Structure 1
Amino acid sequence: MALGHAAFLALEFVASYHVNGRDSLCRAPAIQCVRAWLAESRVALQVFCWQQPFRSRAVADHLPHGSRCRGVVLVHGFLCNRGFWNPWMRELRARDHPFVAPNLEPVFGSIDQYVQCIEEAITRVSTVTGRPPVLVCHSMGGLAARSWLRGADAARVHRIVTIGTPHRGTWLARFSRTANGRQMRIDGDWLRQMEIENGSAGRPPFTCWYSNCDNVVFPASTATLSNADNRLAAGRGHVELAFVPSLRQQTLALLED
């Protein structure tokens, strides 16, 4: 199973390498892509074969009453659940930051269907702290947060951090037949409409992490936004991005802004 999984990821990395060659951002050297493939093969197995199926409830939401620390809403991506965030949740709990990590359902539904789930999570955190939370989103979770923004008061969140989010779609989505997968196609109607309704004016600050070796969201520039704090995490695969210690520390530092 591990070898088959690694072979499938290798095809994604080959596609990413060639598509990124035509992108406005620089393409990673081949050796960097190979290293990213090896790391992604290991990390993705841990996430999809252990953390998510067996440890999704290992760390409960943390909502201490009367806390004055800024809270966090953790929004996972496609084919994931809250177990994806276990390392983040353990660290947030150790720092006593309130957090909620919802499960986005239905798994293959429209991204717009996740808006109510995010709304409820934001309300729970802000009720405890009295402060707008930071949203930390991986992959499709960032699009779900932007969909929530279309009908919400942007002042209700302090900042939105996206990690490998296909803000302008991804080349791989052309092969998807699910509702949310089709919505992530480059130049798709859903993304174009959201861009019109959810431009930079009136939105909260965004920090967008992207990688030149992302094997799911590519070309690399699709994970960036105009007028955002776009940060490169070079040589990292799509799942691995969320587990880079320096990325996590820099993101958690934003809670003190």
Structure 2
Amino acid sequence: MVARWQRFLTLLGFALVLGGAGCLLAQGHAGWALALLALGLCGHAAWLGLTCALAAWQNRRDAASTVPTASAAQWLAAWWAEVCTAPQVFCWRQPFRSQAEPDVLPGDAQGRIGVVLVHGFLCNRGFWNPWIRRLRALGVPCIAVSLEPVFGSIDDYVPTLETAVRQLSQLTGRPPLLVGHSMGGLAIRAWLRANQAGGGSDARVHGVVTMGSPHHGTWLAGFSRRTNGEQMRQHSAWLSTLAASESASRQALFVCLFSHCDNIVFPARSAVLPGASAVLHVAGAAHVDLMQRPESFAAVCHALGLAPADTGAVLAVG
């Protein structure tokens, strides 16, 4: 579903901008035609600039935070990286290439640790295409899920994760590592809660790595009127109930990556789950770009037991 409407919006946007610019040019209004093209090319940059400004404002207001303050240069670099990354994800990879990279399910996977890749809000499995290729090259079995319904409850995604975990466990004979970006980290926590009878869910995972997940909600979700968006609001009843269901041993399964330049999940400390066994601050990374940072993939390789020398993984234990 996400692929269909993102494909429609992308094509519609190109048609409107190029068609409008062509009409203006034909009428002799070259200046207005260029202005429309600039608006089409730079409109998303302005939106991302606004989210970065809001994040910086909220981070400064967060009196309880111990996260280092991002410099203006770091914010500028993070904004530019997101400007370059977001169109690749939302205008190409997800709408047109969501099935381009099949899951990695080799016949000789017994004994290996597999990975379940769980995307975030308004995304699909195409988000993980670069990671699927890298994991395939390393011989790591993996499944990238697509969470439906797009605007449903986060609890609705539990069956999808259950199917993926079960499939990888049967293929490899070992519990998989679960990796979640943004809302995907909350979907993993919801799956753990739904299957926690007798502590069974905790034993079914090798570990969990989350990247930019709103474990304490995000200020930006206060504007959402969708079910999963409302669940990601700061101090939401859903988040409070989820946290109350979690033991210290479950929290210790988690490794949390966050950034002080995250322009979607903020204040920055919202992405750190209390009791996580390790925390990694990826300095200067915006929200989507966090997935592309080498530190993020290195942290997953580290959790898989691959040699740190091969990945450059450096984890700050929290």
Q: Do they fold alike, i.e. is TM over 0.5?
A: yes
Superposition map of 1:17-56 within 5 A: 17-23=56-62, 24=65, 25-56=67-98
- Cross-structure match for 1:230: 279
Contact kept? 2:115, 2:143, Cα under 8 Å: yes
1:207 is paired with a residue whose SS is strand
Superposition map of 1:11-160 within 5 A: 11-23=50-62, 24=65, 25-67=67-109, 68-152=111-195, 153-160=201-208
- Cross-structure match for 2:19: none
Q: Could you tell me how far 1:22 is from its partner in structure 2?
A: 2.4
| Structure 2 CA distance for aligned equivalents of residues 203 and 166 of structure 1 | 15
Name the CA shift for 1:226/1:114 in 2 (closer, same or farther; >3 Å): same
- Cross-structure match for 2:230: 182
Q: TM-score, normalised by structure 1?
A: 0.97
Superposition map of 1:203-214 within 5 A: 203=251, 205-214=253-262
Q: Deviations over 1:183-241 (max 9, x none)?
A: 00000100000010124234561110000000000000000011211110000100000
Highest RCO, 1 vs 2 (Cα 8 Å, sep ≥ 6): 1
Q: TM-score, normalised by structure 2?
A: 0.79
| Structure 1 CA distance for aligned equivalents of residues 235 and 176 of structure 2 | 31
- Cross-structure match for 2:288: 239
| Structure 2 CA distance for aligned equivalents of residues 100 and 83 of structure 1 | 12
- Cross-structure match for 1:256: 305
2:266 is paired with a residue whose SS is coil
Q: Deviations over 1:54-100 (max 9, x none)?
A: 11111101112341221000000000000000111001111111111
| Structure 1 CA distance for aligned equivalents of residues 142 and 203 of structure 2 | 18
- Cross-structure match for 1:5: 44
2:194 is paired with a residue whose SS is coil
Identity of aligned residues (%): 51
Q: Unaligned 5+ residue runs, structure 2? A: 1-39, 196-200, 307-318
Q: Unaligned 5+ residue runs, structure 1? A: none
Instruction: Please state if 1:216 is matched with 2:264.
Output: yes
1:201 is paired with a residue whose SS is helix
Say which one has the larger Rg.
Answer: 2
1:161 is paired with a residue whose SS is strand
Q: Which residue of 219, 222, 226 maps to 1:171?
A: 219
Contact kept? 1:111, 1:180, Cα under 8 Å: yes
1:149 is paired with a residue whose SS is helix
| Structure 1 CA distance for aligned equivalents of residues 55 and 303 of structure 2 | 30
**Counterpart amino acid of residue 62 in structure 1:** V
Contact kept? 1:157, 1:204, Cα under 8 Å: no
Moved more, 167-176 or 202-211: 202-211
CA RMSD of aligned residues (A): 1.2
Contact kept? 1:158, 1:204, Cα under 8 Å: no
Aligned pairs, number: 257
| Structure 2 CA distance for aligned equivalents of residues 232 and 202 of structure 1 | 21
